[in-house]
C-alpha cells in the first residue's frame, strides 16, 4: 500500500474529526456534574422497596443522601460491602465520595429518587479512578 498525499490528508482530517468529537464529549460531561437518571422497570429487591442499595468496590465509598430538612446523612460503606438505606430520600442529589478523609471530594452525583422509588448504585474501579453507576427502581 502506497501512502499518497491524498491518503495522508484524508487520514489527518479523520483524526481531527475524532479529536473534536472526543473533546466535545468530555466538555459535555464536565458541564453537567449530575449523572443522568437511569430508570429501570425492574422493581427493587423484595423487602427493600423504596430504599437505597449501595455496593462498594475495592475502597471505602461515602454516600450522602439528602434529607427533608436539607442536611442529609453521609454513610461510609466498607470495601466489598452492600448497604441498604432505610432513610427517606429528600430532594436533590445523592453524592458519592471515596476514601476515609474527613471531607473527600465528590466523585459522582445522581438525582435522588422520588417518593415510592428506590435506587441501586454500584461502585467499581479503584480509589484513584472510581466509577459509580446508579439506577432508579420503580
Taking 3-state DSSP, the helix, strand and coil percentages for the chain, each rounded to the nearest 5, stand at: 20, 35, 45
pLDDT digits (tens, 9 = 90+) for 39-98: 776 776 776 778 899 999 999 999 999 887 777 889 999 999 999 987 666 678 999 999
pLDDT class of 23 with cuts at 50, 70, 90: very low
Q: Mean of the pLDDT values across residues 106-110?
A: 96
> Of 57, 35, 59, 26, whose CA–CA distance to 109 is shortest?
35
Q: Mean of the pLDDT values across residues 26-44?
A: 63
- ∠52-37-118 over CA atoms, to 5°? 20
> Of 106, 116, 54, whose CA–CA distance to 85 is shortest?
54
Question: What's the pLDDT at 20?
Answer: 43
Amino acid at each position: 500500500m502506497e501512502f499518497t498525499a491524498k491518503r495522508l490528508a484524508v487520514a489527518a482530517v479523520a483524526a481531527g474529526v475524532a479529536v473534536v468529537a472526543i473533546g466535545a464529549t468530555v466538555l459535555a460531561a464536565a458541564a453537567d456534574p449530575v449523572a443522568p437518571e437511569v430508570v429501570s422497570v425492574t422493581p427493587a429487591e423484595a423487602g427493600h422497596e423504596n430504599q437505597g442499595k449501595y455496593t462498594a468496590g475495592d475502597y471505602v465509598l461515602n454516600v450522602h443522601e439528602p434529607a427533608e430538612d436539607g442536611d442529609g446523612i453521609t454513610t461510609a460503606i466498607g470495601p466489598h460491602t452492600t448497604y441498604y438505606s432505610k432513610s427517606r430520600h429528600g430532594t436533590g442529589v445523592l453524592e458519592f465520595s471515596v476514601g476515609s478523609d474527613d471531607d473527600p471530594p465528590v466523585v459522582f452525583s445522581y438525582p435522588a429518587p422520588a417518593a415510592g422509588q428506590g435506587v441501586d448504585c454500584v461502585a467499581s474501579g479503584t480509589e484513584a479512578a472510581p466509577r459509580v453507576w446508579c439506577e432508579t427502581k420503580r
